[in-house]
Amino acid sequence: MEIGEMSKGNEAVEIATLPSGLKVAVRRRKGAMVDYCGAIVGVGSRDDAPADPGMAHFVEHTIFKGTQRRSSWHIINRMEKVGGELNAYTSKEETVVYTAAPSGNLTRSVELIADLIINSRFPDSELDKEREVVADEINSYLDTPAEAVYDDFEEILFADTPMGHNILGTVEALSTFDSKKCCRYLHDWYTAPNITLFYSGKQGPEAVIKAVEKHFRDLPTHQAPRIAADLRPAKERAQFSKDREIGAHQCHTVLGAITPGMYSEWKHPIALLTNILGGPGMNSLLNVQLREKRGLVYSVEASNTWLTDCGLFTIYYGCDHSDNAKCAELVMNQIEQIAAAGLTPSRLAEAKKQYIGQLAVASDNYESMAIATGRSAKYFDRVLSPEQVAQHIQAVTADQLREAAKMLSRLSRLTFY
């Protein structure tokens, strides 16, 4: 089979598009002892039909429950017998199925993933059991206010759009997900043009593509029916400030806003600002102000979610009820100070050096890097080297950082107490 034109994302990564539309990204790591292999499917919770919230997540759970040739037991053991793992997750825009295994198991991984994606049959007896598992997962979030507050915040922020429901869906909708509906969903969405395969390990692209061509030859080739989401520009969304009583020992607060998406020129300035405010370092501005100086919180963090047509910036902290208003005020003060005065040249240089260093440390997590390779190939048709990423961060100016802070100066708030 003729393969499409191959292009290099950097010296270690090659990307190929097969005639079927299936994209393959290979990150070769000579001497690697572990292979990571997976499929990124362009379907997530935002693609759930209005009557089927949680469908993408439920299918991700249940493709492991039996194929035309394997029982759920055989699926579980296929990777574990060689000391490997089979895993999956669902986000708002994608479903990822992947393996980690000792080097030398490329064919085993590719064949298993292909079997799950192409041949899953969703036996009703297994679906009944998995409904209980997912229902327990939904209820467990309700028992974890530090996580549930994020879901409720997003439901308000993205109200009346497909982004507005949480990824897990509802217990009521689960009861309607049967074998026929799941099979139809798999056929509609799990198609060659909608999937990017990734591999990270010692095998070269020729071996990977050969295995993919063999085992994915029966993958449907039609275009997936992505549902257009009406997000509306962020400026049209009313800022909100809400409190919900749940009887929690602490207040759990999320502040956030819609931002430009992954293709925006503002991605790197916003990412740098987020790290300055509430990144993993103990010296982040919010950790210093809320915890180190005043002892108001145990933890405070800022994060970004990058989607194709928007982004989501959030800050979370947990504190005593009496301290919630003070914490919110301190958070906004830090953002407003950067929006007004920015950072000094030396402080900005330090912030860039720290962020670039954190990214370098994170790149040593080969599993995360393998998935990141696949996502970058899927959305950008290229994979940046660490040096190229560092160049983007170094290029952020003081003015851009101030403008990014201005974008975040009108945050909405939701507090569980």
Residue appearing with tokens 């790197």: 268
Q: Which of 10-14, 217-221, 349-353 has the lowest mean pLDDT?
A: 10-14
Residue 255 · residue 413 · CB < 8 Å: yes
Q: Which CATH class is domain 234-416?
A: alpha beta
Average pLDDT for 200-204:
95
Residue 377 has pLDDT above 90, yes or no: yes
What is the band of 331 on the pLDDT scale with cuts at 50, 70, 90? Answer: very high
Residue 156 · residue 242 · CB < 8 Å: yes
What is the band of 9 on the pLDDT scale with cuts at 50, 70, 90? Answer: very low
Residues of the chain within CATH 3.30.830.10 domain(s) are 6-215, 234-416
Q: What is the pLDDT of residue 233?
A: 52
In degrees and rounded to multiples of 5, residue 115 shows phi and psi of -60, -40
pTM of the prediction?
0.92
CATH code reported for the domain at 6-215? 3.30.830.10
